[in-house]
Amino acid sequence: MAPLFILKSLILCELMFVVHVIAESSEKCPTSFECGKLGTIMFPFTDSKRPHCGVLAIHGCHDNNNPNGQQVIVLNNKPNGRFLVLYIDFHTITITDLPLRTSLKSQSQTQRCKAFSNNLSLPLMPSSPFGYSYAKFNKTLFTCPSNNLSLPGSFYNYNNCSNYHIYYDGFQSLGDSPDLRRPGPLAACSKIHFALKDVSNDTDPFSFLSDQIVLEVELSSDCRHCIHHRRGHCQLDSQGNFLCVTDAGHISWIVKMGLGLGNVSNTIILSIELYQC
């Protein structure tokens, strides 16, 4: 009987461990987070310890050893993909591109022109089952090797950078789309996107380019339905799939899973006993 008792104990311990892991992995995301100098943040933002709880994860929220530490977000499509978070307001987060700031504020024209290199262009914004983020106020520019292009009259040509000419449409709105179609003569040019200042002079791109990027989060239809119709919380499971977690549904799911595993353990033990008979 001793081996059977040991086997029963092992099976029960394993099943209890599985229930514990499931409960931990399905832990409901908190409604708010404390994040250093930013104070209390809420969904759709999250901290780096709980990336499954929001669209954009903020790093440095829990740097207790450095009260003056910086909070940043990481956008991996850039070699220097860390952006300092300035402030958060509802579904909007304002960040700054420090290398771009250095270029724009330089007294050297050569250094300033480095702002138009592709690696200092607006980063691609991450998306997830929660939704996506986009730069609210941006401008599309084209860097071209040639100065002899025939373009619509609304386009400006900035030629004070030695290695290329910069073309842009001065009459486009503050919300240029990253998918803006380029006129035919610009086909060989590089297209770049920049954040905009509130006040600008169309003839000088350095007067309207900004190192501060305002990102707006647009929730997916699934997440909006979860929040507004089911009064739930949007989060991801361990596989990165969307979950709408409600208080009642979260608790009952774990209880049902525990009961189900308990029934499985009873069946296994009964089968062993019958086999020994």
- 228 and 251 assigned to the same domain: no
- 91 and 204 assigned to the same domain: yes
Query: How many domains is the chain built from?
Result: 2
- Residue 69 pLDDT: 80
pLDDT in tens, 157-203: 998 988 889 998 875 544 554 445 566 888 888 888 888 887 667 78
Instruction: Inform me whether the pLDDT recorded for 120 exceeds 80.
Output: no
- Residue 181 pLDDT: 59
Per-residue CA distances from 267 to 90, 93, 178, 260, 277 (Å): 51, 53, 59, 11, 15
Higher pLDDT, 76 or 145: 145
If you average pLDDT over residues 54-70, what whole number do you get? 81
Q: Which long-range contacts (CB under 8 A, 24 or more apart) does 108-111 make?
A: 109/160, 109/161, 110/162
Tell me the sheet residues that pair with 62: none
* pTM for the model: 0.73
- 18 and 101 assigned to the same domain: no
Read off the pLDDT band of 258 (50, 70, 90): very low
Answer yes or no: are the C-beta atoms of 194 and 121 closer than 8 Å. yes
234: left (phi over 0), alpha (psi -120 to 50) or beta: beta
- 254 and 212 assigned to the same domain: no
Q: Which residue range is the domain that position 10 belongs to?
A: 2-25+245-276
- 6 and 74 assigned to the same domain: no
Instruction: Inform me whether the pLDDT recorded for 54 exceeds 70.
Output: yes
- 61 and 132 assigned to the same domain: yes
- 149 and 197 assigned to the same domain: yes
pLDDT in tens, 201-216: 778 888 888 999 999 9
DSSP H stretches of helix in the chain: 2-25, 98-104, 109-113, 221-228, 247-276
Average pLDDT of every residue of the chain: 77
Read off the pLDDT band of 137 (50, 70, 90): confident
pLDDT in tens, 234-244: 999 888 889 99
Structure tokens at 199: 């006040």
- Residue 18 pLDDT: 42
- How far is the C-alpha of 85 from the C-alpha of 82, rounded, in Å? 9
